[in-house]
Chain A
Amino acid sequence: MAAPFDMDDDSVVVIIGTGAGGGVLANELAQKGVSVVALEAGGRYLPEDYINDEWESFGQLAWTDPRTTSGDWRVAKDFSGLPAWIVKAVGGTTTHWAGASLRFQEHEWKPRTTYGAVQGANLLDWPIDAAEMEPWYALAETKLGVTRTEGRPGLPGNNNYLVFEKGAKALGYTEVHTGRMAINSQDYDDRMACQQTGFCFQGCKWGAKWSSAYTDIPRGEATGNLEVRERSHVARILHDDSGKATGVEYYDADGTLQMQKARIVCVAGNSFESPRLLLNSASSMFPDGLANSSGQVGRNYMRHMTGSVYATFDKPVRMWRGTTMAGIIQDEARHDPSRGFVGGYEMETLSLGIPFMAAFLDPGGWGREFTTALDAYENMAGMWLVGEDMPQETNRVTLNHDITDQHGLPVANVHFDDHPNDRAMRAHAYKQGIAIYEAVGATRTFPTPPYPSTHNLGTNRMSENPRDGVVNRWGQTHDVPNLFVSDGSQFTSGAAENPTLTIVALAIRQADHIAGEMSKQNI
């Protein structure tokens, strides 16, 4: 049967969310002939709709439904209602992401074995490893057209990169280049090459950056096997007396509650909404939430150790020109406990426009110390620091029953405390970032605190033993055989790398598994 599908059609796979996880999974299944209904809370925006204006674009794309925060992270103080800067739209945060596409390092699949017991951390090895993931990473790199893989050339370096590269080389760093990016350095897969426009975070108006919004989603729809229902917010996953998922209840674009039956349900709403949905799906049979016999749903929330370093110089840089994040130093990504912490971090070029720089350079800051920094904006260079943070059981997404969203559903509270390892790594990264810019003659440097999270991971983590996590090696929940998790919330650990490539690789692999199990009548 071809799309659109009937509400009572219980042969379909329902996928909740259409980003790097859900969007890819939807297309991959559709290509294999599986009938898919994808429910997306946001609307549909394409390159011609994207707005190259930071706040206006934020208003168009960002998930701004209410959320609450707690914990000692500075985001809870500075942006208490906005724990994450992620997207509510068809394509999810693949519209907003910067395009950095890095594989995990081999040891990062086994953090408990590699790092040992870290006090206060709930470290666990993934049930999968680098060798198993290698072919899936290769497929993901082909899909995204990642530069510096399979012979694709790197992007040219912009002004911000040239400052960063010169400082890095002065410090003796050797793994310095314009990144492995899902942004075309030449025409590829019906997408044109990067025009060095900036505004990568606001949706690429050229379509040079890979986003599921204009690749996987329309290609899946073209098969006739995929129906995307936008502005459809899932409220609850339903199950029968045997404990199998039977469908979902969702609010459609008009706010009317609908029920879609399903053979399989896949949750890919990101690391806040996915556990929130499982918790909001509690029933008499599953009083602590769906798939939560381990008690791990919502726990081990990771957001990467992050921070930024900006620096001003006596001459212009104009960092905003060109690809936002095409620049990386990987020398510090190794695991080297002699630095005073386990795991490693990447340094990547980053720039913000004046409106966001004013909001994020030093949240709450004011007076001339702050404004003279902005006065030197034209002479500013910037980098982002992103490294592995420690999973902690108490860093978690819970339901806040005191606050409900527009549908009357309890919102997610996001609690996060930095682990001492996170703080030690951030201090090291600030020091190195500052040294890089001072080596090029910086007149002033700014160790800038973390922004609202863009890398949200780990709240439905993968584990060999059902006691330790929520899903197994396929992203299938330990408790409900036809319920899968397909986004970054299944991450057992965060690694140092930007997570999208791994989310995509896991989604391609999961699609292969689900289609196989369906044809064998195992699910």
Chain B
Amino acid sequence: MTKTATRGMTRRQLLTRASAVGAGFVAGSGFIAAPDAAWAYETGSIEPAAFATLVQMARDIYPHDRIPDENYVLAVKGYDTPEAAPAIMAGIAALDAAAQGRGFASYIETGWERDRVDILRAMEDSAFFQQIRGGLVTGLYNQKAVWPIFGYEGESYSLGGYIDRGFNDINWL
């Protein structure tokens, strides 16, 4: 789960503040970070809370439980520019409003994926949803770092192809 945090926070502080709001996110001064501080991303034009919501939305659209948040952050950080940010923040505001319309405090504080997906389904024809979904197709799946999670080996030319490395090694037929 992505956490927002203040620059310079210790890992303990981060965890403390995170636990203080349960599964929610903590808005800091421009930082979101993994709870174990394994990675951090300083937001630019998108407010940290909105960026954290965007990351959660990305995971809800293409949920892969073995892909860490870091790759979802990388997949959407291209929107964190002065040109793109206003539309993204407007889209996130609409997402939060839709969550509130269903009795939740915000999108990110909607606890069950099923409920968040219901919110997304209701807006899947919107330009905002399609922009985020379409961008993820390349933004997420074209990251070489996620390929091994799927077992995909990428190029093999540099290794001489598979002629001596298992092109026909299936053993269960």
Say which residue of A159, A166, A197 sits within 8 Å of B169 (CB atoms). A159
A146 CB → nearest B CB, Å: 20
B143 CB → nearest A CB, Å: 9
Interface: B86 (CB within 8 A): no
B140 to chain A: closest residue by CB: A358
Q: Note all chain A residues with C-beta closer than 8 A to B83.
A: none
Number of A residues, CB within 8 Å of B:
43
The interface residues of chain B, by DSSP majority, are classed as loop
A356 to chain B: closest residue by CB: B141
Q: A346 vs B168: C-alpha distance in the bound complex, in angstroms?
A: 23
Query: Do residues A52 and B151 form an inter-chain contact, with CB atoms below 8 A?
Result: no
Say which residue of A166, A317, A371 sits within 8 Å of B63 (CB atoms). A371
Query: Do residues B61 and A196 form an inter-chain contact, with CB atoms below 8 A?
Result: no
Contacts A318-B151, A367-B117; A159 near B168 (Cβ below 8 A): yes
Within 8 A of B (CB), among A261-296: none
Q: A315 vs B170: C-alpha distance in the bound complex, in angstroms?
A: 9
Interface: B39 (CB within 8 A): no
B172 to chain A: closest residue by CB: A315
Q: A316 vs B153: C-alpha distance in the bound complex, in angstroms?
A: 13
Interface: A162 (CB within 8 A): yes
Query: Do residues B156 and A163 form an inter-chain contact, with CB atoms below 8 A?
Result: no
Q: Note all chain A residues with C-beta closer than 8 A to B124.
A: 366
Q: Note all chain B residues with C-beta closer than 8 A to A156.
A: 167-168
Q: Note all chain B residues with C-beta closer than 8 A to A52.
A: 154-157
Interface: A205 (CB within 8 A): yes
Interface: B137 (CB within 8 A): yes
Interface: A321 (CB within 8 A): yes
Q: Note all chain B residues with C-beta closer than 8 A to A320.
A: 152-153
Interface: B131 (CB within 8 A): no
Contacts A358-B141, A374-B64; A205 near B167 (Cβ below 8 A): no
A239 CB → nearest B CB, Å: 45
Residues 145-173 of chain B: 1 if any A CB is under 8 Å from the residue's CB, otherwise 0? 01100111111110011110111111011
Query: Do residues A368 and B63 form an inter-chain contact, with CB atoms below 8 A?
Result: yes
Residues 83-108 of chain B: 1 if any A CB is under 8 Å from the residue's CB, otherwise 0? 00000000000000000000000000
Interface residue tally on B, bucketed by range: 35 or more
A381 to chain B: closest residue by CB: B170
Residues 343-379 of chain A: 1 if any B CB is under 8 Å from the residue's CB, otherwise 0? 0000000000111011100001011101100110110
A133 CB → nearest B CB, Å: 35
B113 to chain A: closest residue by CB: A368
Interface: B142 (CB within 8 A): yes
Query: Do residues B170 and A322 form an inter-chain contact, with CB atoms below 8 A?
Result: no
Interface: A198 (CB within 8 A): yes
Q: A156 vs B169: C-alpha distance in the bound complex, in angstroms?
A: 12
B143 to chain A: closest residue by CB: A355
Q: A206 vs B141: C-alpha distance in the bound complex, in angstroms?
A: 27
Interface: A195 (CB within 8 A): yes
A60 CB → nearest B CB, Å: 14
Task: With a 10 A CB-CB cut-off, give which of A194, A198, A317 has the most chain B CB atoms.
Answer: A198
Q: Note all chain A residues with C-beta closer than 8 A to B162.
A: 158, 195-198, 321-322
B170 CB → nearest A CB, Å: 4
Task: With a 10 A CB-CB cut-off, give which of B142, B153, B165 has the most chain A CB atoms.
Answer: B142
Interface: A157 (CB within 8 A): yes
Residues 49-77 of chain B: 1 if any A CB is under 8 Å from the residue's CB, otherwise 0? 00000000000111110100000000000
Query: Do residues A197 and B150 form an inter-chain contact, with CB atoms below 8 A?
Result: no
Query: Do residues A378 and B137 form an inter-chain contact, with CB atoms below 8 A?
Result: no
Query: Do residues A198 and B156 form an inter-chain contact, with CB atoms below 8 A?
Result: yes
Query: Do residues A375 and B64 form an inter-chain contact, with CB atoms below 8 A?
Result: yes
A317 to chain B: closest residue by CB: B170
Q: A364 vs B142: C-alpha distance in the bound complex, in angstroms?
A: 17
5 other A-B residue contacts (CB within 8 Å) besides A197-B156, A354-B147 = A196-B167, A205-B157, A353-B154, A371-B62, A378-B151
What are 27 A-B pairs with beta-carbon distances under 8 A?
A55-B142, A159-B168, A162-B170, A162-B173, A163-B170, A163-B173, A195-B163, A196-B162, A199-B156, A316-B170, A317-B170, A318-B169, A320-B152, A321-B156, A321-B166, A322-B168, A355-B138, A355-B141, A358-B140, A359-B138, A366-B61, A368-B63, A370-B62, A371-B62, A375-B64, A375-B66, A378-B152
Chain A residues close to B by CB (< 8 Å): 52-55, 156-159, 162-163, 166, 194-199, 205-206, 315-318, 320-322, 353-355, 357-359, 364, 366-368, 370-371, 374-375, 377-378, 440
